[in-house]
Amino acid sequence: MITRPVKILYVCPFAHDFASYSFMAFHEGNALSQAGAEVELLTFKGLLDKAPMKIKQWTVRRHITLSLPLYYLANLMRKSRYTRMFAKLIEYSLTLMVAIRLKKKNNYDVLHLREGDPFLFILHLLNLPQRGNNWAVILIGAEFIAQSSLQPSPWKNPKQFFGMVFIRAMNSNFWKPVFSRSSARNKFVYLTENEAIKNSYQPYMKGVLARNIFCLPLGVNRIDKTISKEEARKYLGIPTEKPVFLCFGSPHAGKEWEAIYIALKDIKDVFLLHGGNQRLDDRGLSLQLPNSLSLSEKYGVSDRVLIKDHYISEEEKPYYFFASDAIILSYTRQFLSNASSLWEACRFETPVIMSDNSQLKEIMDSYRPGLVFKAQDPDSLRETMMRFMDLSPEELLSFKENCRGFNEEFSINRWAKQCLLIYEDHLN
């Protein structure tokens, strides 16, 4: 039983990625610290978002010598979408190697890994010669997102052939003895952000993870200030009178943005704001994912769309949400991971229009922060957008109030306390 503050190394290999890891590392690391833990942060090469953190930070570059060529190779391979997945594999491996080295030096109680998949076999390979490490590993369902994005037959899309082989090899039952042996020498607890991911991982590797999987939903952090809609729209240079819908983030295999542009084509008097880098994400190894730039041209709506094609920092983010009447969250029918943008929307009390994937619809039905439409159905989305524009001020206000209730239920402080309770059980 630990009677002193728990000492945690929060490990985030992809904090420099255009996804939301930098944002999560920042807020979750600080929340664990505020909950009474002693927290330090390890990243591959720092946070993408330069907001100041209150905890000590480490980077891989300072702790490798013989592996320096791999470090620079990863930086080089990240520049091409065809090799970016392999760059991430190197970044993941080097970051975990340094985490294990720091554990021996600083004697952390828990190594908290933000995103263990889809390279989970690397984690267990590196822990084979180790003993006594305590790992808390976040699983976001990336392996299943990647599988669903690939064609069932490589001959239908030859460009995906190697990606299919690679992903299935990484998650083959061939690795089960490695998982079992590593788990006999070290402790692993796996944290999923919803029940759908947890259920998907139950049979993984013939159930080798099943006993140690827990559901820990994301936490919502408080905002520092509010901005008026007029000020936010003026800052972004978008119409002040038209209804404005927001699409946010970078493309990945679980997102389905084409439905948004098909629906927008037939609703003339609205404006779409899109914030986020449009470089193709590599989690699904799908090289044909359309982004907003190509979709706005394809459907002839470029004059009614503003795309900010860069990473949106924490400082700039409020302008996008406060400028918008609602955010559209459109995902594929197979999507089972967590919609972090839903947490972001509720954080800023921005009403949501979301596709009806099973786990997302359950949240929408329970907390009612907005409306739902049929996933991958442009007609349903169009009808829902038009219905949203006809809502009364009282109905819109109720969505904002429901967002506040969501924030209380999923507060970042509650997330941190639940996380520490799981640690305690894990360490005991």
Please report the DSSP string for 244-313 in residue order.
EEEEES---TTB--HHHHHHHHT-TT-EEEEES--SPP-TT--TT---HHHHHHHTT-GGGEEEE-S---
Residue type, 22: S
pLDDT at 286: 44
Mean pLDDT of the chain: 87
Say yes or no to pLDDT of 288 above 60. Answer: no
Of 78, 2, 85, 86, the C-alpha closest to 36 is 2
91: helix, strand or coil: helix
Kindly indicate the confidence band of residue 284, based on its pLDDT and cuts at 50, 70 and 90.
Answer: very low
Residue carrying structure tokens 């629906």: 263
Q: How many CA atoms, within 13 angstroms, populate the side-chain half-sphere of residue 45? A: 11
Residue 40 clears pLDDT 90, i.e. is over it: yes
Backbone φ and ψ of 104, nearest 5°: -65, -35
60-64, 329-333, 401-405: range with highest mean pLDDT: 401-405
Taking the C-alpha atoms of residue 112 and residue 241, their distance in angstroms, rounded to an integer, is 46
Q: Is 0.95 topped by the overall pTM?
A: no
**Residue 106, SS3?**
helix
Residue type, 407: N
Average pLDDT on 376-400 reads 96
pLDDT at position 235 is: 96
Of 8 and 333, the structure prediction assigns the larger pLDDT to 8
Q: In degrees, to the nearest 5, what angle opens at C-alpha 215 toward C-alphas 214 and 216?
A: 115
- Name the residue type at position 352: V
Average pLDDT score over residue span 368-376: 95
Mean pLDDT over residues 237-265, rounded?
A: 90
Question: What are the pLDDT digits (tens) for 9-34?
Answer: 999 999 988 777 888 999 999 999 99
How far apart (Å, rounded) are the C-alpha atoms in residues 244 and 240?
A: 9
For 105-124, the pLDDT digits (tens) are 999 999 999 989 889 999 99
Is the pLDDT at 371 greater than 90? The verdict is yes
Q: Give the SS3 label for residue 145.
A: helix
Q: Let me know: does 270 contact 302? Beta carbons within 8 Å.
A: no
